[in-house]
Amino acid sequence: MESTEEEITCYLCLNPGTEENPFAEPNPCNCRGTIRMHNSCLQELIAASNRCGICRTRFIDEGFTGVKYSYYDDGSVMEEINYVHSLREGPRKKYYPTGELWEDGNYVNDVILRVI
């Protein structure tokens, strides 16, 4: 039997919400109810543009904690930076396109202390 309800999908990745990858609650956008985004997709959007592609709502990152990655065109990791409450804090690594370590540093309160 086919479902008559349309499956709700993420505005960015087009996948449904799951227990492992839930939608952001509440939906932080002025388009409330018209679009849904996974928490992880929302973090990527905030890092990339800080605005909704439909209503142009500006998102404010109120404390991202985790690792953000930059990538080369081929998909290999260019840089990884650790954040605590949106400040760069802890290890920072840069890599050559071959994957070899280029720089290894440490941030304290958003300031790089040393590069080895």
Q: What is the DSSP string of 16-28?
A: BP-SSSPBPSS--
With contact defined as beta carbons under 8 Å apart, do 26 and 40 qualify?
no
Residue ranges, the chain, pLDDT below 70: 1-6, 26-34, 50, 58-63, 85-86, 109-116
pLDDT of residue 20: 84
Say whether both 35 and 77 belong to one domain. no
Closest Cα partner for 102 from 74, 75, 73, 72? 72
Structural domain span for residue 53: 8-60
Phi-psi region of 20 (alpha: psi -120 to 50; beta: other; left: phi over 0): alpha
pLDDT of residue 84: 77
CB atoms within 10 A of CB 88: 19
In sequence order, what E strands does 2-86 have? 66-71, 77-84
pLDDT of residue 21: 83
Assess if residue 44 is contained within a domain: yes
pLDDT of residue 41: 83
pLDDT of residue 4: 46
Assess if residue 2 is contained within a domain: no
Domain tally, the chain: 2
